[in-house]
Structure 1
Amino acid sequence: MASPESPVGTSDPLKPRRPIDFDTFYQGTPPWDIGRPQPAFLDLADAGVLRGRVLDVGCGTGEHALMAARLGLDATGMDTAAAAIARARRKAADRSLTVRFLVGDALELEQLGEQFDTVLDCGLFHVFTDDDRLRFTASLRSTIPPGGRYFMLGFSDRQPGDTGPRRLTRDEITASFDDGWQIDSIESAEIEINLGPTSIPAWLTAITRT
């Protein structure tokens, strides 16, 4: 990622404050690292909609890439935080799962020179500035072939107040994916976190590359 606003402040663990090096959060356990897949993404796995080559972008410590590997899929996880990737690789070894974990920039996916049939994004899109949203969707277009799908779980404007990560509205999601994409669904969901409250409202979005 390219210097997003911090999703974690010094006094309020969810309040955006300043550009941040996400590696610093993995000196401990960040709020979004719950040590298991998010239930919304587990439901996708159970429904059988994950297919082909899977990229978990902004993967953190890798739970969703590891989930895809358990399904027998070709799984890759990528994150800007080297500390998170190191933990993800240890998890894969401990669980005897084959997953490729890479340190890389989600705004430059084209540099991978690869195509993925399914891209999973838990908590990444909502940290981007407006300009970086444009860069990210362009990066995704270079990576997902026509018919491939992008599943995004992002912080919702249904959460009252102004603390926490940047909120997403349905209109913002639709506007960000209006060129070369088909929005299949935007549904109410939750992102579980490891502090109180134990979950926050989210949008689960399914989008197909056209």
Structure 2
Amino acid sequence: MKWFYELMYGRFRAPWDIGPRQELVELVESGRLTPCTAIDLGSGTASNCIFLAQHGFEVTGVDFAQAAIELGHRRARAANVRVNFIRDDLTHLQNVRGPFDLLVDYGTLDDLKPPQRDRYLRNVLPLAHPGSRFLLFCFEWEPRWYERPYFSSMALLPGEAERRFAPYFDIEWYAGESGLKGLPRGWAVYLMTRK
């Protein structure tokens, strides 16, 4: 999977490169999320990092694709903001140290196979302290039997986010849709607070 992201960030404009995500913008502009230390888990095109930095957050972006890190550096320089970019693998963290007050994940966890999701959670938990907020976007739907070989690592199952995170976080469902036609058939955004 890493080769795919190196190719997308290094040679093409990723189709998910749509600027800072709507829910993040709403939460910052409403004052529900205020400037603090923040980490973008799978920072990709760096849009969320740059938006947060422009609003006074002290931001770290982590991604396993070197092309994403290089793109992030270029975009942060162009936006005249400071972001600390670190190349690391969220399933085997070696270079990132927390804790952070805000964790943001837009589409990283749901891109992992279930055993990798377990490792992700073990690695991400130490990055949060009691009271840390975690904004998680994920595709979320039950794949049909014939989709499972292709889409089992593209979406969380309904209820999976709650099962994985409830022992450690208070969970608020923030936004989402289900039963959509085509793919993806559903998505959800959770705003969680570390217990």
TM-score tier after normalising by the smaller chain length? 0.7 to 0.9
2:154 to 149, 166, 179: 166
Report the CA distance shift for 1:45/1:110 in structure 2 as closer, same or farther (over 3 A): farther
CA-based RMSD of the aligned residues comes to 2.6
Corresponding residue for 2:38?
A: 54
| Structure 2: gaps (5+ residues) | none
Corresponding residue for 2:56?
A: 72
Quote the offset at 1:114 in angstroms: 2.1
2:79 to 89, 95, 109: 95
Corresponding residue for 1:42?
A: 25
Q: TM-score, normalised by structure 2?
A: 0.83
Quote the offset at 1:175 in angstroms: 1.0
Partner of 2:128, secondary structure, is: coil
Q: Deviations over 1:73-114 (max 9, x none)?
A: 101111111111111111111111111111111123464232
Partner of 2:51, secondary structure, is: helix
Partner of 2:104, secondary structure, is: strand
Q: Which has the higher contact order (CA 8 A, sep 6+)?
A: 1
Partner of 1:93, secondary structure, is: helix
Partner of 2:82, secondary structure, is: coil
Q: Which is further off, 154-163 or 104-113?
A: 154-163
Q: Is the 8 A contact 1:79 1:85 kept in 2?
A: yes
Within 1, Cα distance between the matches of 2:193 and 2:137? 15
Within 1, Cα distance between the matches of 2:97 and 2:88? 13
Aligned length: 186
Report the CA distance shift for 1:200/1:28 in structure 2 as closer, same or farther (over 3 A): farther
Corresponding residue for 1:24?
A: 7
Partner of 1:139, secondary structure, is: helix
Overall identity of the aligned pairs, in %: 24
Within 2, Cα distance between the matches of 1:200 and 1:99? 34
Q: What does 1:1-210 align with in structure 2 at a 5 Å threshold?
A: 6=1, 20-26=3-9, 27-34=11-18, 36-51=19-34, 52-109=36-93, 111-157=95-141, 162=147, 166-188=154-176, 201-210=186-195
| Structure 1: gaps (5+ residues) | 1-5, 7-18, 191-196
Quote the offset at 1:158 in angstroms: 7.9
